[in-house]
Structure 1
Amino acid sequence: MTAVAHDKQLLLPLGVVVRRAPGVTRWVPWNWRAVAVLPGAGPAEWRELRRDGDVVEYHAATLTLDLHHTQTDAYLEALRARVPSVYVVMRPVAAQGGQMPFEVTLVTASPFEAQDYCDTGEEMVERVPMPEGLIALIRDFVAAHHVEEAFKKRKRDWVRVTGSEDGIGDARIPQTTDVYRAPSRARKERMH
């Protein structure tokens, strides 16, 4: 599979590599993490790539990285990071039999979109370093489609400031000293 470029969109298949390692506590037997992406990878579903003792790496899935011309600000933010990264979103599933405990649902180059998934708390979001070729591809896409928006300062709403406070307080209180006083208290004071 190769990248498909439309007028203002780029679609690229990305394979997601997930590593299973022994957990560090007795309550979590396995630690699952997305550790790499494979640009241009073919279809896969939890195909074992490498095994080193109890540590196993799987080509968990191949998803489409969708770069859109309206999101170039987000891609610039990802490229400016100390380590340019893509984000992999995995959703837990009830593992039965030989089924894996996660479904890889999304891969994105937008840190803003990844943040939206972090906010729900239902998915696991992993930050994965971009390979050099992917950095170059995204940089070229941003260079071709990014439009810098000019800063627009908001205009101040001019409000009439004459000192008159129409509508402040309770109209049933005849005096002007404490316009916030409750009407029942004003009546009691007048009676005494």
Structure 2
Amino acid sequence: MPLGIVLRRAPGVTRWARWSWKATAVLPGAPDASWRVLRESDGTTEYHAATVPLDLHGAETEAYVHGLGAEVPCVYVVMRPIAGAQDHPFQILLVTASPYEAQDYCDSAEEVVEKVAMPEGLEAWVREFVDLFHEEEAFVKRRRNKQTEGARQDGIGDPRIHTGADVYASPGLKRGRVL
């Protein structure tokens, strides 16, 4: 589904940041746009920055269930800052309904991830997809292997390494003297 991404530019609150940018809304089914001004008031401007597709995948339904279970279901807008750009400082990379995928993008410092509340129609569309394709997986607890490694294990170190010395000895000690 194509989603229009709305970014708000407001005056910065510090002398180091002239502008503050935030993704504030998504427009389901929006046509293509490139930084079209939607509204201006009191120094704040809202732009329809871009339209990107929201793709849902059957293998990601567990993540969608997790996201829909939140108090406010959200989509995540992934943007990359454009160095030196003043008027349009972000490239919109993608939008996702998966909080797990959004977390993966948060791990790098190259992208900015903004959380935006899902409109009701979009939430219903994602829920319908989950209802059609989600299959609960039963939790299987991993069992410990009862085989022992070696003849005897007394809880100190690796029983496969034979040494007469104390396994907890400091590496700086050699035959009773300090180096």
- Place the TM-score, normalised by the shorter chain, in its bin: 0.7 to 0.9
Whether contact under 8 Å (1:22, 1:30) holds in the other structure is yes
Between the aligned partners of 1:102 and 1:43, the Cα distance in structure 2 is 16
1:36 maps onto 2:25 in alignment: yes
Tell me what 1:169 maps to: 162
Q: How far does the alpha carbon of each residue in 1:129-160 deviate from its partner, in whole angstroms, 9 at most, with x for none?
A: 00000010000000000000011111211123
Q: How does 1:58-97 map to 2 (within 5 A)?
A: 58-96=47-85
The gaps in structure 2 that reach 5 residues or longer are 154-158
Deviations 1:64-111 (A, max 9, x none): 000011100111111111110000011110245x75111111100000
Q: Name the amino acid aligned to 1:67.
A: L
Are residues 1:14 and 2:6 paired? no
For residue 156 of structure 2, what is the aligned residue in structure 1? none
Stretches of structure 1 lacking an aligned partner (at least 5 in a row) = 1-11, 187-192
The two structures, once aligned, show a CA RMSD in angstroms of 2.2
Counterpart for residue 190 of structure 1:
none
Structure 1 residue aligned with 2:36:
47
1:125 and 1:162, CA in 2 relative to 1: closer, same or farther beyond 3 A? closer
Query: 36-45 or 149-158, which moves further after superposition?
Result: 149-158
- TM-score, structure 1 as length reference: 0.80
Matched, 1:185 2:178: no
- Listed as ranges, the matches of 1:125-140 within 5 Å are 125-140=113-128
Question: Runs of 4 or more off by more than 2 Å in structure 1?
Answer: 159-170, 178-182
The match for 1:117 is 105
Hey, what does 1:145 align to over in structure 2? 133
In the other structure, the counterpart of 1:102 is 90
% identity of equivalent residues: 54
1: CA distance between counterparts of 2:31 and 2:144? 55
CA contact (8 A) 1:69 1:146 kept: yes
Select the structure that is richer in helix. Answer: 1
SS of the counterpart of 2:106? helix
- Determine the structure 2 residue equivalent to 1:5: none
Check whether the contact 1:19–1:34 (CA below 8 A) recurs between aligned residues.
yes
Is the 2:61–2:133 contact (alpha carbons within 8 Å) kept by the matching residues of 1?
yes
Output the CA distance in 2 between the equivalents of 1:168 and 1:13.
61
Q: Please, what TM-score do these two structures have when normalized by structure 2?
A: 0.85
Q: Conserved in 2, the CA contact under 8 Å of 1:168 and 1:179?
A: no
Residues matched between the structures, number: 167
